[in-house]
A and B are shown apart, each in its own frame.
Chain A
Amino acid sequence: MKCERCNKNEATFFYEENINGEKKKYSLCAHCAEEMQNSGELKTLSSPFAEISSSSPFALMGDTLFGSLFYPAEAAKIGSVAKKCPRCGSTLRDFRERGKAGCPDCYGTFSAELEPTLRSMHGSASHTGRAPAKWKKKRDHADRMKELRAELNEAIKKEEFEKAARLRDEIKAMNEKEEG
């Protein structure tokens, strides 16, 4: 998408504000965003690109990543800026300036805002691989249940009722084990 102000550069900053019902929406390149910021055309001082910290890895990784922290859908919420991590008190701005989370709970608090950044950083936003034993057990259990349910459906479809009954018992036993 091209920057709507200069129509030349790629737009990497998406900004939306909503002041007393008057909505404004911009898709800008880094250069224009900075100019509009300086000229005061972007009214909200809490504008996402108010302070681009060069020490932040997001900034180092280029405008695209940094800009994507503020996707249109989330930008309106950021306008109010008040969202805080209940555990460590970090705001999204703290997170962005540091380039790092304040505590493990920050990831839950800002998950929506972070998702596009994670996608451009890693090409994915969900983990595969090792897990602590406790979580691994849970995951293995869920995987096994999925398998059994698929087998059960297959058995029912093929009218293998004896097999289906056996599978149903197994699923029930596994559920009880998980709860107990």
Chain B
Amino acid sequence: MAWYNMTGESSDTVISTRVRFARNLAGYNFDSTLGEKEAREIIEKISDIFTPAMGFERIDLNEKNRLEALSYVEKHFISREFAAKKTPHTLLLSEKFNTAVMVCEEDHVRLQTILPGLSLNEAYEDLCRFDDQLDSNVQIAYDEKLGYLTHCPTNLGTGMRASVMMFLPALTMAKQIGGIASQLSKIGLTIRGMYGEGSESRGSLYQISNQVTLGVSEEETIRKLSEIVAQISNRERKLRATLKDDRFDALKDKVLRAEGTLRYAHMLSSAETTELFSLVRLGVAMGIIEDVDCAMLSRILVETAPATLTLTSEKELKTDTERDIARAEKIKAVLPM
């Protein structure tokens, strides 16, 4: 089942967990100096490993299925850069394993698993299995000293990026994200707003990930990240508890108004939906709203994003108004009456 239809661990503070490995094939140039013929060779080689029999669907991305590609970006299966690429590139996707193999991204192969909630170990272990599969079928560019050789030196070593999408409304309100950011940078981690740059992110959604890949093992990185995410979760929970003591009625009013808008509005923009999502998710986590669960909310966030909405809508959506109406309808269909 796709990750956004499930509720995972620590879902009060964590939306999803993503781990990716960057790998390149020995004997081929990196992307910027790679010929088209070689790119196609790599695509065929990797497609022969992650086959339909293994649960992977092959999607050759090009001008014609641009919208589909953007929808995969909104579902966090692939990167925006990969969707926009001009040279040959292919996605091998298993929605069952929530795993995407991006072939000819910045690196020849990027393996990525995304799971709901906090699930770093599981995502890492899943990915290792797919990495072993890759390793036993092709020669990987590797150096004893530098580890996995990647196009960009920022990924050298493990080639691993582990990131946790966190939901931190109380810390955002308390203006504590900036402080967290400077603490994280000292230990090789970073925090970034999901929507818009800067320290305050729309929807209070943040991505926390490792920046260092050389000299720190995968397991150590996962352990460190898990620890930090747990610490941040606890700080967020404590602040929420104080909110509940001090300003409960004001908060409850805000949350229920947001729920009302989400349920009954005729038109909803993407930006407003993200804001309302945030308040309702907080309401669910604090027990103010009971008949909505986190999976419904993740689904709303994914399925009302512009490309996915356009792709799944029965009508053709030409104007912003049409899109905003369709978005409100989609939300009504997801939320129980």
Residues of chain A having any CB pair with chain B under 8 Å = 57, 87-90, 98-104, 107-108, 114, 117-118, 121-133, 135, 138-139
Q: Are B156 and A122 in contact (CB under 8 A)?
A: yes
Of all chain A residues, which has the CB nearest B141?
A104
Q: How far is the CB of A140 from chain B (nearest CB, A)?
A: 13
Known pairs A122-B215, A132-B135, A132-B140; A102 contacts B152 (CB<8 A): no
Q: Determine if B63 is an interface residue (Cβ-Cβ < 8 Å).
A: no
Interface string of B98-123 (1 = CB under 8 A from A): 00000000100000000000000000
Q: Are B33 and A125 in contact (CB under 8 A)?
A: no
The residues in B between 136 and 174 inclusive whose CB is less than 8 angstroms from any CB of A are 136, 139-154, 156-158, 160
Q: Determine if B291 is an interface residue (Cβ-Cβ < 8 Å).
A: no
Q: Which residues of A contact B132 (CB under 8 A)?
A: 133
Residues of chain B having any CB pair with chain A under 8 Å = 24, 26, 28-30, 32-33, 106, 128, 131-132, 135-136, 139-154, 156-158, 160, 188, 212-220
Interchain residue pairs with CB less than 8 A apart (23):
A57-B152, A57-B154, A88-B30, A100-B106, A117-B153, A118-B146, A122-B212, A124-B215, A125-B145, A125-B214, A127-B144, A127-B146, A127-B147, A127-B157, A129-B160, A129-B218, A130-B148, A130-B158, A130-B218, A131-B142, A132-B135, A132-B139, A135-B144
Q: Which residues of A contact B136 (CB under 8 A)?
A: 133
Q: Are B152 and A123 in contact (CB under 8 A)?
A: no
Our pick among A89, A122, A132, A135 for the contact of B157 (Cβ within 8 Å) is A122
Q: Which residues of B contact A90 (CB under 8 A)?
A: 33
Q: Are B156 and A99 in contact (CB under 8 A)?
A: no
How many angstroms between the C-alpha atoms of A123 and B185 in the bound complex? Answer: 12
Q: Are A122 and B30 in contact (CB under 8 A)?
A: no
Of B135, B143, B144, B153, chain A has the most CB atoms within 10 Å of the CB of B153
Q: Which residues of B contact A118 (CB under 8 A)?
A: 146, 153, 156, 214
Q: How far is the CB of A69 from chain B (nearest CB, A)?
A: 10
Q: Which residues of B contact A103 (CB under 8 A)?
A: 28-30, 33
Q: Are B143 and A107 in contact (CB under 8 A)?
A: yes
Give the interface SS of chain B, mostly helix, strand, loop or mixed: loop
How many angstroms between the C-alpha atoms of A129 and B143 in the bound complex? Answer: 12
Of all chain B residues, which has the CB nearest A127?
B147
How many angstroms between the C-alpha atoms of A173 and B158 in the bound complex? Answer: 32
Q: How far is the CB of A66 from chain B (nearest CB, A)?
A: 12
Q: Are B33 and A127 in contact (CB under 8 A)?
A: no
7 other contacts beyond A102-B30, A104-B143, A123-B215, with CB at 8 A cut-off? Answer: A57-B152, A90-B33, A100-B153, A102-B33, A108-B143, A125-B214, A127-B147
Of all chain B residues, which has the CB nearest A57?
B154
Q: Are B152 and A99 in contact (CB under 8 A)?
A: yes
Q: Which residues of B contact A100 (CB under 8 A)?
A: 30, 32, 106, 151-153
Q: Are A114 and B145 in contact (CB under 8 A)?
A: no
Our pick among B30, B131, B142, B216 for the contact of A101 (Cβ within 8 Å) is B30
How many angstroms between the C-alpha atoms of A29 and B69 in the bound complex? Answer: 44
Q: Which residues of B contact A89 (CB under 8 A)?
A: 33
Our pick among B152, B154, B215 for the contact of A127 (Cβ within 8 Å) is B215
How many angstroms between the C-alpha atoms of A101 and B107 in the bound complex? Answer: 11
Q: Are A123 and B212 in contact (CB under 8 A)?
A: yes
Q: Which residues of A contact B128 (CB under 8 A)?
A: 130
Q: Which residues of A contact B106 (CB under 8 A)?
A: 100
Q: Which residues of A contact B152 (CB under 8 A)?
A: 57, 99-101
How many angstroms between the C-alpha atoms of A131 and B153 in the bound complex? Answer: 17
Our pick among A124, A132, A133 for the contact of B214 (Cβ within 8 Å) is A124
How many angstroms between the C-alpha atoms of A107 and B128 in the bound complex? Answer: 25
How many angstroms between the C-alpha atoms of A107 and B106 in the bound complex? Answer: 17
Q: Are B26 and A127 in contact (CB under 8 A)?
A: no
Q: How far is the CB of B24 from chain A (nearest CB, A)?
A: 6
How many angstroms between the C-alpha atoms of A147 and B149 in the bound complex? Answer: 29
Q: Are A107 and B146 in contact (CB under 8 A)?
A: yes
Q: Which residues of A contact B150 (CB under 8 A)?
A: 101
Q: Are B29 and A87 in contact (CB under 8 A)?
A: yes
